Amino acid sequence: MAASFGDTVFLALVKDDAYQYLWRGLGNSLKLTLIAAVIGVVLGLLLAVAKLQDVDNLTGNRFLVGLRRMLAGFANGYISVVRGTPAVVQLLVLYFIVYTQVLKKIPGFDHIPDLVIAGIAFGINSGAYVAEIIRAGIMAVDRGQTEAGRSLGLSAGSTMLFIVIPQAVKNVLPALGNEFIVLLKETSVAGYIGIADLTKGAQTIGGAIYNFTVPLLCAAYVYFLMTTVLSTGIGVLERRLRKSD
């Protein structure tokens, strides 16, 4: 039994440099996570600010009031739809419908790398969750900070940008770190559109040697190591932020 298992490990990781499927897959998984994280944070920040518009008490220019109401409504609808549907379905819709049937027919958009398409899909998904995290962080900032900024002559936008958001970011960094971990694990379904991520690399090896046990366990162990390291780092960051308060 031990020899048989050893042979399986040899076939799965050593023979013909099979481990490189996992190595390349790991690189693609990290790239995908990074692309999605950047998109998710930027999109989440915009959605959070839009959702925080006090649409019931808006006064002033009718056009601006209408625009802010529209933005708040869009943000609420976007977050509800994205959070109410599975990430893998969003990935498939973006790739097989939006990209394959629409964007590919537009000159200049017909050769977008699959990795970028997947990164956008996961970023769109992550943005809805990041928006709620940032919104909670902004609401946790003392209202007196906003009033102080306005009393100094800053506009509402400048007060939000230079006073409220920097404090909110500090409040939500640990939660954003946890979202990054969730995002890393979510990218394991990127193989549905043919991306050679870590999970797909394990499946490729398993199909070649007719045994999925070792390669899939190796992939699971790598995910576990990455999430453990990230969780430890987030814990350290959280403790330091508490000390600085």
Please indicate, yes or no, if residue 159 is contained in any of the structural domains: yes
Range of the domain at 59: 25-199
Conformation bin of residue 16: beta by default, left when phi > 0, alpha when psi is -120 to 50: left
The larger pLDDT score, comparing residue 225 to residue 64, is at 225
- 191, 195, 198, 199: CA torsion to nearest 10: 10
If you search the block for the tokens 């518009």, which residue do you land on? 53
DSSP assignment of 184-239, as one string? HHHGGGGGGGT---HHHHHHHHHHHHT--HHHHHHHHHHHHHHHHHHHHHHHHHHH
Please indicate, yes or no, if residue 101 is contained in any of the structural domains: yes
For the chain, what is the domain count?
Answer: 1
Instruction: Specify the amino acid at residue 78.
Output: Y
Please indicate, yes or no, if residue 214 is contained in any of the structural domains: no
The pTM assigned to this predicted structure is 0.86
Q: List pLDDT tens digits, range 120-153.
A: 999 999 999 999 999 998 888 888 888 888 888 8
Please indicate, yes or no, if residue 215 is contained in any of the structural domains: no
Please indicate, yes or no, if residue 20 is contained in any of the structural domains: no
Query: What phi, psi does 60 have (nearest 5°)?
Result: 110, -150
Q: Is pLDDT above 80 for 244? A: no
Q: Is pLDDT above 60 for 185? A: yes
Q: List pLDDT tens digits, range 47-65.
A: 998 888 755 555 666 777 7
Query: How is residue 152 annotated by DSSP?
Result: T
Please indicate, yes or no, if residue 171 is contained in any of the structural domains: yes
| DSSP E strand boundaries for the chain | none
For residue 182, give the H/E element and its range: helix 165-186
CA gap 209, 142 in Å, rounded: 60
Q: Which residues contact 70 (CB under 8 A, 6 or more apart)?
A: none
Mean pLDDT of 56-81: 80
CATH for 93: 1.10.3720.10
- Other beta carbons within 10 angstroms of residue 24's beta carbon come to 16
Helices H / strands E in the chain, number of each: 10, 0
Q: List pLDDT tens digits, range 96-114.
A: 999 999 999 898 888 899 9
Please indicate, yes or no, if residue 127 is contained in any of the structural domains: yes
Please indicate, yes or no, if residue 230 is contained in any of the structural domains: no
Query: How is residue 108 annotated by DSSP?
Result: T
